[in-house]
Amino acid sequence: MHGDRAARNILRDRDDDPEISVKPGPPGADRVLVVDDEPDIVALCAYHLAKAGYRVVTAATGTDALDQARRQRPALVVLDLMLPGMSGYDVLQQIRADDALKQTPVLMLTARREEADRIQGLTLGADDYITKPFSPQELVLRVGAILRRVGASGATGQDVLRIGPIRIDRGEHKVTVGDQEVELTPTEFKLLLTLAERRGRVQSRSHLLETVWDAAPDIQTRTVDMHVQRLRGKLGVAGELIETVRGFGYRIRTGNSKAP
């Protein structure tokens, strides 16, 4: 396959600079950090992402990944879970604990197919996952979908939604409960905003998958449940406003809610 051969050539042809550019994107193109210890996988991801117009940075270990993330400030990280030394789970935890990186979307790349592994990654704050072997075109679509919802979550101006003690500032991509700021991942923010904008109405799991995750084909409904559970935990007592409607999905109660 011509594309795969070209992808393998990337690692041989690049210079010492970690940034890869097969087809340079326009000025300001989103930068994606690809983290995997398998050179062929890195090359394949880098080739197709660069071909789609992204600027690509790579790392083969968890330590290098964190260093690259802090120096390059990528728009998104594609992170393999099975890394030598520091695991992908450890890298994900450190990203979410770092004030400068915690809002960076993370797409898990893994050979593990067990639901427990996917749930662990999502619970730690991953935004999506894709399993090996994978279609490079699907990878590009997943990356694009995540970046679109990150952009959409902050693209509606300075209007604010208030639901009980929860305050959602679309423009600043900021959530507070009372006077305490709540740190959410981009996906958690989009999930909360989707429920809030439709407060009082039940949102089915399939609708949430389509709206928040762009209906990624192999995501299971458990993904929605795990994100809702994590969101409730972060909201504290205010998380009780998110109700489970058995057999249907979720909604946010309208009680004591108001628009500014």
Nearest to 89 by CA among 50, 43, 122: 122
The CATH class that applies to domain 2-153 reads: alpha beta
For residue 1, give both structure tokens.
Answer: 């396959």
pTM equals: 0.63
Chain segment 193-241, per-residue pLDDT in tens:
999 988 888 998 888 888 887 765 456 667 888 899 989 999 999 999 9
CATH class, 160-258 region: mainly alpha
The string of pLDDT tens digits covering residues 2-20 is 444 544 444 433 434 444 4
Whether 160-258 and 2-153 are alike in CATH topology: the answer is no
Q: Where are the domains of the chain?
A: 2-153, 160-258
